[in-house]
């Protein structure tokens, strides 16, 4: 609900101020705000299988959120930036914990153009399906939604 979201937003700002001593720009707070909600979203997608990508992503994010809330500074989870199925397979086979598919990467490799709103939803969806398939069932992939296509 919107009340829960605003409550979590305030909690986010309080945690950041308490642990870092100053007000932060909205992008940092928004990122933390998303981490508070993404756990529920990922949980709703998960199969319950401890080796599934959704379950692994939920565990990675939950650990990070808990560390920040407790004032601990845990090492950030590095996402390997990929742009196609081959790069996804290479990073997945090398042991990447999670992957990030960027709109720029897809636009550059498919069209040879910058990320300027030229890529269609269908092209991005196709690229995401290929990357997810190549990464395998246990490696989470976060996909850049660009402008939302709406």
Strands of the sheet containing 80-82, edge to edge, are 80-82, 99-101, 141-143
Q: Is the pLDDT of residue 37 over 70?
A: no
Tokens of 114: 């910058």
* Averaged pLDDT of the chain: 74
Nearest to 8 by CA among 69, 50, 49: 69
Total-model pTM:
0.61
What pLDDT does residue 85 have?
95
The pLDDT of residue 42 is: 47
Give percent above pLDDT 70 in the chain: 63
* Contact of 106 with 85, CB cutoff 8 Å: no
Question: 9 and 3 in contact (C-beta within 8 Å)?
Answer: no
Q: Which helix (H) or strand (E) holds 80?
A: strand 80-82
Residue 145 has pLDDT above 70, yes or no: yes
Q: State pLDDT tens for residues 83-130.
A: 999 999 999 999 998 999 988 999 999 989 888 888 888 898 899 999
pLDDT tens string 52-72: 777 777 777 777 777 777 777
């Amino acid at each position: 609900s919107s009340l829960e979201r605003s409550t979590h937003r305030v909690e986010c700002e309080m945690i950041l101020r308490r642990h870092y001593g100053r007000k932060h720009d909205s992008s940092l707070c928004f990122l933390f705000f998303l981490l508070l909600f993404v756990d529920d979203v990922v949980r709703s997608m998960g199969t319950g299988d401890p080796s599934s990508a959704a379950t692994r992503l939920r565990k990675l994010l939950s650990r990070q959120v808990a560390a920040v809330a407790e004032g601990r500074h845990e090492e950030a989870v590095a996402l390997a930036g990929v742009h196609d199925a081959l790069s996804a397979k290479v990073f997945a086979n090398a042991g990447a914990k999670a992957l990030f598919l960027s709109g720029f990467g897809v636009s550059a490799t498919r069209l040879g153009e910058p990320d300027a709103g030229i890529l269609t939803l269908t092209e991005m969806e196709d690229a995401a399906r290929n990357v997810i398939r190549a990464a395998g069932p246990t490696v989470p992939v976060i996909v850049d939604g660009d402008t939302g296509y709406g």
